[in-house]
Amino acid sequence: MARCVMKVAPMLRPLLASLVLFGSVSVARAEEPKPMLPGVPATFGTEPTTPSPLHASITFSPLHLIFPVGEIAAEIAISPKFGVAVIGGIGSVKPENSDTRVLIYEVGISPRFYVWGDFRQGVQLGAEAVYVHASADDQFMSTVSAEGLGVGPYVGYKWVSKIGLTLEAQLGASYLALRGDGVSDNDSRFSALLNLQVGWSF
């Protein structure tokens, strides 16, 4: 997920800014049913079996590897139409024109409702709240730190293959509230929210 939730002191700002009956019953026979026509299997024309329900999806964000920051999301199926994802990420990056490495971690939550389809495949309407923290020990100054919170809605699409391969994309808007060294009390803005995920469902 490409989430940008922060803007901090000059050393950290460029880095952090980048950063949801009825049926018929047949009586069983002792003998195997014969095909209706020669060469046609007895099961020809029967309804396909319903896939077993999925309970969770584990995905990661390839876009975050550019920084590099590793981000993983675990979505739990509350029902076939509703899921909640827990987000976590951590990384250590080096800003331009600096010998100092910056430690970054993030945690968040993302409930989503499948307005079309279900947990296996469908269109999502959801929201996302992500907290990000960055800190660094500069050799010429004391510890520099900053944090931010991004909250916003999105629309997305999820697809799961028969073997469990999972692809997910989300697009929306996020409101960013920032604070820290070199950040004013009212430092906030709106930003695009873009998530591209790949992973596995089971």
Which has the higher per-residue pLDDT, 176 or 30? 176
pLDDT tens sequence across 16-59: 545 533 333 333 343 444 545 555 454 545 555 677 889 999 99
The C-alpha atoms of residue 114 and residue 124 are separated, in whole angstroms, by 5
Which pLDDT band holds residue 93 (cuts at 50, 70, 90)?
confident
Report pLDDT for 120: 95
Looking at the predicted structure, is the pLDDT value of residue 179 above 80?
yes
Which has the higher per-residue pLDDT, 121 or 15? 121
Could you tell me which CATH number the domain at 13-20+51-201 has? 2.40.160
Looking at the predicted structure, is the pLDDT value of residue 6 above 60?
no
The C-alpha atoms of residue 10 and residue 14 are separated, in whole angstroms, by 7
pLDDT tens sequence across 158-170: 999 999 999 999 9
Report pLDDT for 81: 96
SS3 label, residue 49: coil
Query: Mean pLDDT, to the nearest integer, of 75-100?
Result: 89
pTM: 0.71
Average pLDDT of the chain is 79
The C-alpha atoms of residue 194 and residue 168 are separated, in whole angstroms, by 11
Query: Mean pLDDT, to the nearest integer, of 105-125?
Result: 97
The per-residue DSSP string of 62-99 comes to: GGGGGTTEEEEEEEEEEETTEEEEEEEEEEEE--TT-S
